Structure 1
Amino acid sequence: MTQPIQKEINNGVATLTLNRPEVFNSFNREMALLLQAQLDVCEKDENVRAIILTGNGKAFCAGQDLKEVTDPELNPGFKKILEEHYNPIITKIRAIEKPIIAAVNGVAAGAGANIALACDIVIAHEKVSFIQAFSKIGLIPDSAGTFFLPRLIGFGKASALMMLGDKVTATEAEKLGMIYRVTSIDDFENEVATVANTLAQMPTKALGLTKRLLNESMSSTLEQQLNLEGKLQIEASETKDFAEGVNAFVEKRKPNFKGK
């Protein structure tokens, strides 16, 4: 039986692939719960130092599978969908202290777009579009879209995109600061692999602490942020990777970080 989430680990990089291409990788309960489980495994696996989240086929993710919510037998209800599916996915993406790349290989709509935007680095190819599709069917943005998108591109632009449901091309998204990088279709896989492999060879603990600081910066005062930077800088300075980085600098060689 085909699994709705495929996982592959190679050279410290775990690739999690949304695998319901026949419905543009839209989420049902099975896929949502399995993605959470695989994220938990990646978090605990010391051999995983970077994570790629991508989709199989023509889409990254079209959001919620509407057949599930319109089926009287299968429909879990929106309370359960949000509290047990999407909210935990977003929480785990932000809580895992390892870099997570959204490799957006096709359309990212609704919850699919917002899951991508919750990742640390978003890379998309030139044919990709992002759509806040909720208003088209009488819903409101979820999956932390109202949290992340205004912070990425500004309140006014986010408001317009969410209300109008406009398509945003990957090129436009890069210009807006919504995503990190747009590539050609031909260069997409190589670019994602290069970034992921680079991250997997970096000081994982320091990257994780950086991620924690960025999370806290969303609600901290300047004083609180400065205090936390001081605390976590001490923690970073006690890692083996810091010692290796300093020794490599003194010895004028490339550091060999172990993620510890």
Structure 2
Amino acid sequence: MTDSEYVSESDGVLTITVSTAAAGTSLAPGALVDGAAALREVAGGRRDVGAVLLVGAGANFCAGGDVRAFAGADDRSLLIRDLADTFHEFIRALRDADRPVVAAVTGWAAGAGMSIVLHADVAVAGPSSRLRPAYPGIGLTPDGGMTWMLSRAVGPARARRIILTDEIVDADAGLALGVLSTVVADDDVRTTAADTARTLADGPREALSAAKDLLTAALTTDLDEHLDLEAASIARMAGRPDGIEGVDAFVERRRPSFS
């Protein structure tokens, strides 16, 4: 399995540190490569985890790309295209792993950091947490799926306003918009996110993955199609080990022990 300074596994949770403290908590290319490799192991059944936890290396979750590295490149377009492709392979691997994703959004999540937060199923933040597109400030356009995810999260009009005006979204606004899931004390962000990830990992993994699939499908199906998908999914889960255990445990008035 692929563990590194950016990737670790404990209690059924795969933790990926997406930024590096060495460059001002900027996006870590090594984290993208190692993280994508570990996530592909999850998707391929070679790593048994029930949740993914995304964290930052320091006070910030991720302050965006390493702009100083951009400035020092002989060919900026080539460097940034290579980084974007690597970043997008990580995003695709995060999707394909099909596990609940929790983000511990400490401090700033700007640029690529904000893009990553948008892919989390549960984003835990503190009162001092801030999100910002950041790309317009350096004359670039978003990557990491920001324009796709933000439009779906907050609606096209709000997404245009936030991205085009490079709006700073504080914790309260992020919670109200549905970009953040919960706001706790700043000192509790990492602990709460880790506890949430462990709780998800201890749950009915196949059912949670199937629920994620339904939520994704809901973006492109009409109601009739979606009702059929839900009916097929719940029937399938009823015959699976966790579905059988969950129903039996409820009837027997005990806590379920999911596989």
- Same fold, TM-score > 0.5, yes or no: yes
Q: CA deviation at 1:28?
A: 5.0
TM-score by length of 2: 0.90
* 3-state DSSP of counterpart to 1:60: coil
RMSD of aligned C-alpha atoms?
Answer: 2.1
In structure 1, what is the Cα distance between the partners aligned to 2:8 and 2:88?
A: 24
TM-score by length of 1: 0.89
Residues 6, 31 of structure 2: 8 Å contact kept = no
Shift of residue 16, structure 1, vs aligned partner: 1.4
**Residue in structure 2 matched with residue 146 of structure 1 by the alignment:** 147
Q: Structure 2: how far apart are the matches of 1:6 and 1:72?
A: 24
Q: Deviations over 1:145-195 (max 9, x none)?
A: 111112222222221110111211112211221110111113223311321
AA aligned to 1:53 is L
Question: Cα distance, 1:74 vs. partner?
Answer: 7.7
Distance 1:36 1:210 in 2: 22
Distance 1:195 1:215 in 2: 21
SS in 2 for 1:32: helix
> Quick check: 1:24–1:60 contact (8 Å CA) kept in 2?
no
1:99 aligns with 2:100: yes
Q: Aligned equivalents of 1:172 and 1:131: distance in 2?
A: 12
Counterpart residue number, 2:48: 47
Counterpart of 2:240 in structure 1 is 239
C-alpha contact (below 8 Å) 2:115/2:145 kept by paired residues:
yes
* Deviations 1:206-239, CA, capped at 9 Å, x for gaps: 0001111111222222232222223322322221
Residues 87-117 of structure 1, C-alpha deviations (whole Å, 9 max, x = no match)? 2222222222211101112211111101111
Per-residue deviation, 1:122 = 0.7
Is the 2:128–2:171 contact (alpha carbons within 8 Å) kept by the matching residues of 1?
Answer: yes
Paired positions, count = 255
Counterpart check, 1:80 vs 2:82: yes
What is the Cα deviation at residue 5 of structure 1?
4.5
1:193 to 1:171, Cα distance in 2 relative to 1, 3 A: same
Deviations 1:117-166 (A, max 9, x none): 11111111111100011111112222111111122222222211101112
Partner AA of 1:81 in structure 2: L
Aligned-pair CA distance for 1:33: 1.7
Q: Are the structure 2 counterparts of residues 28 and 56 from structure 1 closer, same or farther at C-alpha, using a change threshold of 3 Å? A: closer
Q: What is the alpha-carbon distance in structure 1 between the residues aligned to residue 136 and residue 96 of structure 2? A: 29
- 2: CA distance, partners of 1:145 / 1:135: 13
Residue of structure 2 equivalent to 1:11: 11
- Contact kept, 8 Å, 2:51 with 2:201, in 1: the verdict is yes
**Quick one: distance in 1 between partners of 2:79 and 2:47?**
36
- 2:210 paired residue number: 209
Question: What runs of 5+ residues in structure 2 fail to find an aligned partner?
Answer: none
Identity of aligned residues (%): 30
Change (3 A) 1:20 1:138: same
Cα deviations by residue, 1:9-28 (Å, 9 ceiling, x for unpaired) = 22212221235112233235
Q: Does the CA-based 8 Å contact 1:131-1:167 persist in structure 2? A: yes
Q: 1:49: Cα distance to partner? A: 0.9
1:20 aligns with 2:37: no
Cα pair distance change 1:196/1:131, threshold 3 Å:
same
Partners of 1:4 and 1:11 in 2: CA distance = 17
Separation of aligned partners in 2, 1:116 and 1:216: 20
3-state DSSP of counterpart to 1:98: coil
Shift of 1:252: 0.6
Q: Which amino acid aligns with 2:81?
A: K
Counterparts of 2:231 and 2:24, CA distance in 1:
45
Question: 8 Å contact 2:7–2:35 — kept in the other structure?
Answer: no
Relative distance call for 1:202 and 1:132 in structure 2 (3 A) is: same
